Amino acid sequence: GAVVSQHPSWVICKSGTSVKIECRSLDFQATTMFWYRQFPKQSLMLMATSNEGSKATYEQGVEKDKFLINHASLTLSTLTVTSAHPEDSSFYICSASDPVGVRTYEQYFGPGTRLTVT
């Protein structure tokens, strides 16, 4: 159980365009989802926390107008990178937490999405 999927697994887009990444919890309802970014040879950095039905909370230094997060249902959160630039190229990973699970604070991670902006 506790499976999280992401789509697409990789995407290439041109500079100035927008790209949407989906994160789904497949076998549980996730009231909270998290979005992380990982640059090559670096660790994961939390970008934002999203709660179903409310606005996302962004970490310091993350542009909320550039990284739009929508968590419209208990199984789906989306991250839209708007007006993408080459410096946005990164590995984006989402996670979801199961509030009724045995280990309440545990997050389950998706497989990641590789974004390359040309």
Partner 1 sequence: KQEVTQIPAALSVPEGENLVLNCSFTDSAIYNLQWFRQDPGKGLTSLLLIQSSQREQTSGRLNASLDKSSGRSTLYIAASQPGDSATYLCAATSGTYKYIFGTGTRLKVLA
Contact footprint for partner 1 (CB under 8 A): 32, 34, 36, 43-46, 49, 91, 93, 95, 97, 103, 105-112, 114
Question: By C-beta, is 83 or 106 nearer to partner 1?
Answer: 106
CA separation for the pair 37, 34 (Å, rounded):
10
Question: By C-beta, is 75 or 97 nearer to partner 1?
Answer: 97
Question: By C-beta, is 42 or 83 nearer to partner 1?
Answer: 42
Exposure of 109 by Cβ count < 10 A (0-12 exposed, 13-18 middle, 19+ buried)? Answer: middle
Distance in Å, CB of 83 to partner 1, minimum? 26
Distance in Å, CB of 70 to partner 1, minimum? 20
Distance in Å, CB of 110 to partner 1, minimum? 6
Cβ–Cβ under 8 Å, residues 108 and 95 = yes
**80: Cβ contacts below 8 Å, ≥ 6 apart:** 18, 19, 20, 21, 67, 68, 69, 70
